[in-house]
């Protein structure tokens, strides 16, 4: 707000990590991609290859959807999560999110580059 008589700006700042209740810690891992004898891509994640590009960042992991799927002969729940992170992150769909021992594939990313809202990583936990 602008105080005309005294010519002073009054600014309010918010710590979005507190405002969004970011109490979880997640890591984002990037694979090392190699190719097998048939030419198919093989992803290797830490500790066997690849690297952790963001370790222990503040986040809020929020369950959004759950459905029953058949993955490679296993019938189970496919669970979607929105992972709200405290900073801008450079990610690809090859990366993955690790939270409390759960490994989640990245399927999308939104709110990147906004200053009024935190970035959201859309993930899926498959059976």
> What are the tens digits of pLDDT across the range 7-45?
777 777 777 777 778 899 999 999 999 999 999 999 999
Determine if the pTM surpasses 0.85.
no
Reported as type and span, the H/E element at residue 19 is: helix 16-19
Confidence of residue 3 (pLDDT cuts 50, 70, 90): low
Phi/psi zone of residue 8: left (φ > 0), alpha (ψ -120 to 50 degrees), beta?
beta
For the segment 56-65, the average pLDDT, to the nearest whole number, is 94
- pLDDT level of residue 101 (50, 70, 90 thresholds): very high
Q: How many CB atoms lie within 10 A of CB 16?
A: 16
Q: What pLDDT shows up at residue 116?
A: 75
Average pLDDT, the chain: 88
Q: How many helices (H) and strands (E) does the chain have?
A: 1, 10
Amino acid 9: pLDDT? 75
Q: Residue 1: its pLDDT value, please?
A: 59
Tokens of 60: 């809020």
- 127 token code pair: 């059976």
Strand 120-125 relative to strand 2-3, pairing = unpaired
| Confidence grade of residue 58 (pLDDT, cut at 50, 70, 90) | very high
Q: Is the peptide bond before 47 cis (omega within 30 degrees of 0)?
A: yes
Separation of alpha carbons 97 and 121, rounded Å? 9
């Amino acid at each position: 707000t602008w105080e005309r008589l005294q010519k002073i700006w009054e600014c309010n700042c918010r710590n979005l990590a507190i405002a969004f209740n970011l109490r979880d810690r997640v890591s984002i891992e990037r694979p090392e991609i190699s190719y097998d004898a048939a030419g198919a891509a093989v992803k290797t994640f830490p500790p066997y290859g690849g690297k952790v590009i963001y370790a222990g960042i503040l986040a809020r992991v929020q369950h959004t959807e759950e459905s029953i799927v058949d993955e490679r002969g296993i019938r189970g729940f496919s669970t979607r999560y929105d992972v709200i992170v405290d900073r801008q992150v450079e990610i690809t769909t090859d990366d993955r999110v690790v939270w409390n021992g759960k490994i989640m594939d990245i399927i999308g990313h939104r709110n990147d580059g906004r200053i009024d809202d935190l970035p959201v990583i859309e993930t899926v936990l498959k059976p």
